[in-house]
Amino acid sequence: MEAVHAVNPWVALAYLVAGVCFILALRGLSSPASSRAGNRYGMLGMVIAVVTTLVTHEVASLAEIAGAILIGGGFGFVVARKIKMTDMPQLVAAFHSLVGLAAVLVAVAAFLNPDAFGILGADGNILTVSRVEMALGAAIGAITFSGSVIAFAKLNGNMSGAPIMLPGRHVINLGTLVAILAMTGLFAAAAQAGPGENPLFWVIVAASFAIGFLLIIPIGGADMPVVVSMLNSYSGWAAAAMGFTLHNSAMIITGALVGSSGAILSYIMCRAMNRSFISVIAGGFGAESGGGDAGAAKTDRPWKRGSAEDAAFLLKEAASVIIIPGYGMAVAQAQHVLREMADALKEEGVSVKYAIHPVAGRMPGHMNVLLAEANVPYDEVFELEDINSEFAQADVAFIIGANDVVNPAAKTDKSSPIYGMPVFDVEKAKTIFFIKRSMGGVGYAGVDNDVFYMDQTMMLLGDAKKVVEEIVKAL
Amino acid sequence: MDFITILSIFVLACFVGYYVVWSVTPALHTPLMAVTNAISSVIVVGALIASAAAGSAGSKWLGLVAVALASVNIFGGFAVTERMLAMYKKKDRPAPKAPDKAGGAK
């Protein structure tokens, strides 16, 4: 049989075009204005890749393939239309797991039927370099799958977000990783390596499923943005590894793009929490946050309670208001009524801006999507670095559902667990409104916040949505 | 293609990815994850090869399942990205009488 990669150059060119389309898809995301065109490029690239593959291979089972695409595609489409924007992190985690599982299945198929992939050597053995690639592809895919399943369960609430700490887990995890690499080496070096022959392959796959599971269970809910980004990266590397096996440039380019994208997002998330990647992976952070309103805050310090009417009056009188939304806002579904409040203020001539911390949601950029869904124009939404200098001129800082990201202890208190994390300089604003369910609860990091007790702070206690509704009524 | 050619493509694509992704605005990081999800399903190419090939029934069925899984991602990923991106709107300016900003919208 002739090898697949000996095909004519037009095919290679078509895959290259598909790869370039995927680059353009990401390039489009540099601004919301060009983003939709970018997404179309992505779809075009996918169509080119699929059609090229179907045309250049002897397809013995077109009906079955069409059926598989219809079933899978139909399901994916319906889910994508129905999913709530607050549930986006779960959806992304679920999608990652599917990429991972697909990679494993492709690797297994290549192992069982290497001839179809053109990686069977003349001696009846699978090519050595292909053996390394397929073992790594299967391993990364399996880690992506089981890791994403755990991330999904934690994000979706099927599983407690609290870290699960096994004794000696670092030794177990490192040992398993080393064992996977060692077995990959043995698998590549084995003399007997015909189609489906070496059982070591199955051990590698099984160990990789296990390690994906073990790596994610000790990581707490607060670190899930990093985990989701990291799994995004892994799914890319899995695709790239399979691209090496198939000698397919579209897969390699895509894998590299997705791999670096996830890696950069993980880095951005870690930086926003001032945590090192290693400490996130090691897990355990947020162990104490599971208790919720455990009463860790010292509420004996004096604080001021405001009413919705006071807040409405001061907001109307203000020249500029900066709103700092956190995940609590999304949980209370307060984003729509918040936008109504902003609209009412804008009619009074107040300048309203939104300030978003990189870790404000449950995944990178999550809060921006939630605000966009509530019809907040994206040019009123600003990132931390862009708006932090404006608090000194702002009349009101309006904090809703956020806590750790406005805690000045991150700047001053070296002993605080969030020390070094970049935070908003809300204390420079003339007035601070802090919407919070009760005085008892503390943020994810479980630390008290000096902003509660400042002279210019007014606490608005209650459900975020109800409080904002009352303010809107009073405006 | 020999291994070195493939490796070259891979290494260069990593650099392209690095620079392209840093230019993505943070406001669009969630759509970025959704769309990278969709495009990483280009692994469907491998699944199609497996399911199209005659010879091994086991390999064929594995391929078909992989095609279905990747299709969930392709259709779901692009559709959810499209849905999110459609929500990002600019400020409603007093559009008709403001010729200074040609935003490109109608």
How does pLDDT run across A256-276, given as a tens digit for each residue? 999 999 999 999 999 888 888
Question: Does the distance separating the beta carbons of B30 and A39 come in below 8 Å?
Answer: no
Asked if residue A22 lies in contact with residue A253, where contact means CB atoms within 8 angstroms, the answer is yes
Question: Does the distance separating the beta carbons of B36 and A236 come in below 8 Å?
Answer: yes
Chain A residue with minimum CA distance to B47: A106
Region of poorest pLDDT, from A55-64, A77-86, A452-461, B97-106: B97-106
Closest by CA to A425, choosing from A400, A402, A407, A398, is A407
Examine the residue annotation and report whether A310 is marked as an active-site residue of this protein.
no
Question: Does the distance separating the beta carbons of B42 and A262 come in below 8 Å?
Answer: no
Highest mean pLDDT among A221-235, A437-451, B82-96: A221-235
- Residue A363 to residue B92: CA distance in whole angstroms: 28
Q: What is the tens place of the pLDDT at every residue in A413-422?
A: 888 778 888 9
Chain A residue with minimum CA distance to B77: A80
Closest by CA to A35, choosing from A20, A44, A25, A45, is A25
Q: Which of B45, B48, B62, B80 to mutate to test binding with chain A, by most A CBs within 10 Å of its CB?
A: B45
**pLDDT at res. A21:** 95
Give A353's pLDDT tier (boundaries 50, 70, 90): very high
User: Does B100 have pLDDT greater than 70?
Assistant: no
- Mean pLDDT for A94-113 is 94
Question: Does the distance separating the beta carbons of B18 and A195 come in below 8 Å?
Answer: no
Asked if residue A76 lies in contact with residue B79, where contact means CB atoms within 8 angstroms, the answer is yes
- Mean pLDDT for A214-222 is 85
Closest by CA to A268, choosing from A242, A230, A236, is A230
- Residue A473 to residue A341: CA distance in whole angstroms: 9
User: Does B12 have pLDDT greater than 90?
Assistant: yes
**pLDDT at res. B104:** 40
Facing A113 at nearest CB: one of B43, B48, B55: B55
Residues 6+ apart with CB under 8 A from A36: A28, B82, B85, B86
Closest by CA to B55, choosing from A110, A243, A134, A66, is A110
**pLDDT at res. A300:** 65
User: Does A361 have pLDDT greater than 90?
Assistant: no
Q: What is the tens place of the pLDDT at every residue in A371-410?
A: 999 999 998 999 998 999 999 999 999 999 888 888 888 8
Q: Which of B1, B42, B62 to mutate to test binding with chain A, by most A CBs within 10 Å of its CB?
A: B42
User: Does A322 have pLDDT greater than 90?
Assistant: yes
Question: Does the distance separating the beta carbons of B30 and A365 come in below 8 Å?
Answer: yes
User: Does A474 have pLDDT greater than 80?
Assistant: yes
Residue A33 to chain B, least CA–CA distance (Å)? 9
Residues 6+ apart with CB under 8 A from A171: none
3-state secondary structure of A320: strand
With beta carbons under 8 A apart, name residues in chain B contacting A358.
Answer: 26
At position A463, the amino acid (one-letter code) is D
User: Does A4 have pLDDT greater than 50?
Assistant: no
3-state secondary structure of B88: coil
Closest by CA to A316, choosing from A349, A339, A355, A353, is A349
Q: What is the tens place of the pLDDT at every residue in B87-98?
A: 998 876 544 443
On average, the pLDDT of chain A sits at 87
- Residue A427 to residue A450: CA distance in whole angstroms: 9
A57 and B CB contact within 8 Å: yes
Chain B residue with minimum CA distance to A373: B87
Chain A residue with minimum CA distance to B50: A109
User: Does A446 have pLDDT greater than 70?
Assistant: no
**pLDDT at res. A123:** 85
CB-based burial label for A296 (10 Å; 0-12, 13-18, 19+) = middle
User: Does A36 have pLDDT greater than 60?
Assistant: yes
Residue B22 to chain A, least CA–CA distance (Å)? 8
User: Does A295 have pLDDT greater than 60?
Assistant: no
- Residue A288 to residue B91: CA distance in whole angstroms: 42
Q: H/E element holding A434?
A: strand A431-436
The DSSP-derived string for A9-45 is HHHHHHHHHHHHHHHHHHHGGGSHHHHHHHHHHHHHH
With beta carbons under 8 A apart, name residues in chain B contacting A69.
Answer: 67-68, 71
With beta carbons under 8 A apart, name residues in chain B contacting A381.
Answer: 27
**Residue A284 region, left (φ>0) first, then alpha (ψ -120 to 50), else beta?**
left
- Residue A350 to residue B23: CA distance in whole angstroms: 32
User: Does A290 have pLDDT greater than 70?
Assistant: no
- Mean pLDDT for B3-28 is 93
- Mean pLDDT for A283-303 is 52
Q: Which of A39, A51, A148, A379 to mutate to test binding with chain B, by most B CBs within 10 Å of its CB?
A: A39
**pLDDT at res. A442:** 58
Share of residues in chain A with pLDDT > 70 (%): 93
- Mean pLDDT for A198-221 is 91
- Residue A133 to residue A328: CA distance in whole angstroms: 44
At position B13, the amino acid (one-letter code) is A
The two tokens of residue B43 are 């692994």
